[in-house]
Structure 1
Amino acid sequence: MDVLISGASVAGPVLAYWLRRRGFFPVVVERTPRPRLGLGGHAVDLFEPAMEVASRMGLVSALREARTESELLVLERPGRPAAELRLNAVVPAFDDDKHVEILRGELATILHGVTRDDVEYRFGDSIRTLAEDATGVDVTFESGETRRFDLVVGADGLHSRVRELVFGPESEFRHDLGGYFAVFSLPNYRRLVGKIVLHLGVNRMAAVYPVRQTKDARAVLMFRSDTTSQHDHRDVAAQRELVRKTYAGQEWELPRLLAAMDDADDFYLDTISQIRMPSWSRGRVVLVGDAGYSPGPAVGGGTTLAMVAAYVLAHALEEADGDHANAFAVYESRIRDYMRLCRDAAPRVLRNGVPRNRVHRAIAETSLRLLPRLPDRVRSRILAGGISGALSSFALPE
């Protein structure tokens, strides 16, 4: 079967890898003009099920070599002594094959590298129209070319074009959690090595960590806002202005970070939003990853979920032997409970990571200071109730 996959970030290449090795002929279309290679994007966590997918792809060594290697979290607030937290004492299995933190750009580079020789990629293009009939889907690309496919997969993220064409406008499915997430590069002026510096404010969080492969660092900002539906996700000038207004007059390193933000050519901002849909397939079209069920950027483990879901979808298509309707039903059934665990954990992560008031901030800071001192069993129980436990709970089909 000829399968068109829209999106070349994470879910798309993973799906293409497994489909190609099971006799399908995937084509990946991506609107960016070239592969998203290099060290761009923010750091993402690959938990146990995603690492198992990577293991079956022979990629664990490459992922471990590319990991961020941040081992220390330093909590800072002007006028108070800094608190240090050993990450490998907090994150289960931090130093083995069950968890890796990696820059999103590095992950995309590795996934593209393992698929580029036997998968057709169409960069600098996107889907304009889809017309389905009983035997296939006619696709018109923005380039003007028309091709026919047996199936179409939307792996094109939170703002999916495939979802819009087939299921309706984003506003019908997007549920804002009331926050924003921003990331950009800046000079490593603090000479950080292997550690993250974190500042918690009221309705605001800021962190800076080093990119060990370069001389730069990366800043991450998360903040709450009641206007999350009013900003175009591609209007970068308006996004920068929103960040400046939100953090204006703030303490700590914020003035320097805001100045660096204006010079960053990789600035990225988006709402912390979930996609909630009753079904992720219609006819010969199916959604995978954030396009169908984003748990929330930076808070819901969307990268792990995307890799796992892409593997499950490929497995279901192989099992169904051409019966796409049955395959899509099996895929949705197998992944739904896992998706809900990730989605339900995301609001707690946002709530704990971005305190709503001074009392919540004090509780969050105290928790970070105490967590490494707790007995292993107690610490594991706390972590199992959060995103770490949820994302490590899925058993892949063989």
Structure 2
Amino acid sequence: MNTVLVSGAGIGGPVLAYWLGRHGFDVTIVERAPAPRRGGQAVDLRGAAVTVAERMGILEQALALKTDMRGMSMVDGDGNETMRTTERTVSAGRLDGDDIEIMRDDLVAVVTGAARDAETIYGDSITALEQDGDGVDVTFESGGRRRFSYVIGADGLHSNVRALAFGDESQFVAHLGMYVSIYSAPNFLDLDRWQVWHREGDAGYGVHSAPGNATIRVNAGFGAGPIAYDHRDVDAQKRLVEEHCSALRWETPRLMKAMWEADDFYFDAMAQIHMDRWSTGRVTLLGDAGYCASPLSGQGTSLAMVGAYVLAEELGADRDGAFDRYEERMRPFVRLNQELATENPGGPASDESVRRAATAISLDR
């Protein structure tokens, strides 16, 4: 067999499918969501990830979809500007560098288009994995059963594949003491390629215009220890955000109203995944599923894209020991990028640390 099942059609999954296809594998992607997920924050391509995009032939598309931010402001509870800069933003760092900031859903569309030769199944998920020395028998929620040479979990912080193959996520998750929500709203602030941030105590939010300026993306978060909540109960998650953020001033009432009306709401903990092994037999993990660095690192997308490239390259070169070589190449890169999230608690990592982490891997075997 020469078949691979990838769980997760976000960014890492399609990038992996593209490269595995180039190495002669037949790839199937399964995604729990009924369609490509809309919304999400602005994400960054830096260092080695830019090289991956260039080698995929999607760099020009990504550049054309850059957020093209002009700068950022910070305001107090009365809306008075306390800081303004056109040199950097919270989400993208310095604006005069080679990094590419792009909306997550725009990048998903680009990489999904590149992986169009892969079979993609939406609205389904894996319920069981049974493997032997020759392959993996996979049972799907829809009732189907198929056999693959390998199964790759590219399904995020709360990875279903990781749970099935390695056990409960509580063994691997390191909570960073914060929660974040992201959703779209009408651009009632008339922002033009601009970010505005407001914070009081342990809670705050940032708003920035989405391409075209018709809408804004809201990033509202708060500090708290681990909270038990249903990852599928969106209303319960919105209530948590309202509970912790509604006392904020400035535009909070309108932003909370927009949150309840948003149909692209996302909420999760700022957390990392640390595992002794990313692989077991013919199953391995990619991106957030195996080594989430958290949004605080600003490097989750880059880790997924680079990991996909390296994993596909090793499988394509020699299947024997491919997963071990993938881990050997990626672990130093992952470690440096995870450290970005904890280098400066409450603030961004230094520009030098980001540059070093983003380039700390060779893409050539």
**TM-score, length of structure 2 as denominator length:** 0.94
Among 310, 317, 334, the residue aligned to 1:339: 334
SS state of the match for residue 266, structure 1?
coil
Which residue does 2:24 correspond to in 1?
Answer: 23
Which residue does 2:114 correspond to in 1?
Answer: 114
How many matched pairs? 362
Which residue does 1:136 correspond to in 2?
Answer: 135
CA contact 1:94–1:100 (8 Å) conserved in 2: no
Indicate how the Cα distance of structure 1 residues 202 and 92 shifts in structure 2: closer, same or farther if over 3 A, else same: closer
Shift of the alpha carbon at 1:229? 3.6
- For 2:181 and 2:345, the matched residues in 1 are separated by 14
Indicate how the Cα distance of structure 1 residues 84 and 389 shifts in structure 2: closer, same or farther if over 3 A, else same: farther
Q: CA RMSD in A?
A: 2.0
Which residue does 1:181 correspond to in 2?
Answer: 180
Which residue does 1:373 correspond to in 2?
Answer: none
- For 2:233 and 2:89, the matched residues in 1 are separated by 40
Among 317, 320, 345, the residue aligned to 1:319: 317
- For 1:143 and 1:109, the matched residues in 2 are separated by 25
Shift of the alpha carbon at 1:99? 1.1
5+ long unaligned stretches in structure 1: 354-380
Which residue does 2:83 correspond to in 1?
Answer: 83
Among 230, 233, 236, the residue aligned to 1:235: 233
- For 1:2 and 1:253, the matched residues in 2 are separated by 51
Shift of the alpha carbon at 1:137? 0.7
CA contact 2:183–2:262 (8 Å) conserved in 1: yes
- For 1:291 and 1:22, the matched residues in 2 are separated by 23
Shift of the alpha carbon at 1:136? 0.8
- For 1:10 and 1:121, the matched residues in 2 are separated by 13
- For 1:192 and 1:16, the matched residues in 2 are separated by 37
What percentage of residue pairs aligned between the two structures are identical?
A: 42
Shift of the alpha carbon at 1:92? 7.3
- For 2:211 and 2:135, the matched residues in 1 are separated by 47
- For 2:29 and 2:132, the matched residues in 1 are separated by 21
Deviates more, 1:202-211 or 1:84-93: 84-93
Which residue does 1:124 correspond to in 2?
Answer: 123
- For 1:84 and 1:247, the matched residues in 2 are separated by 23
- For 1:312 and 1:71, the matched residues in 2 are separated by 34
5+ long unaligned stretches in structure 2: none
Deviation string 1:107-166 (CA, Å, 9 cap, x unpaired) is: 1100111111x1111111111111101211111111111111111101111111110001
Which residue does 2:361 correspond to in 1?
Answer: 394
Which residue does 1:223 correspond to in 2?
Answer: 222
- From the two aligned structures, give the one with the greater helix fraction: 1
Which residue does 2:43 correspond to in 1?
Answer: 44
- For 1:69 and 1:272, the matched residues in 2 are separated by 26
Shift of the alpha carbon at 1:298? 4.5
**TM-score, length of structure 1 as denominator length:** 0.86
Which residue does 1:360 correspond to in 2?
Answer: none
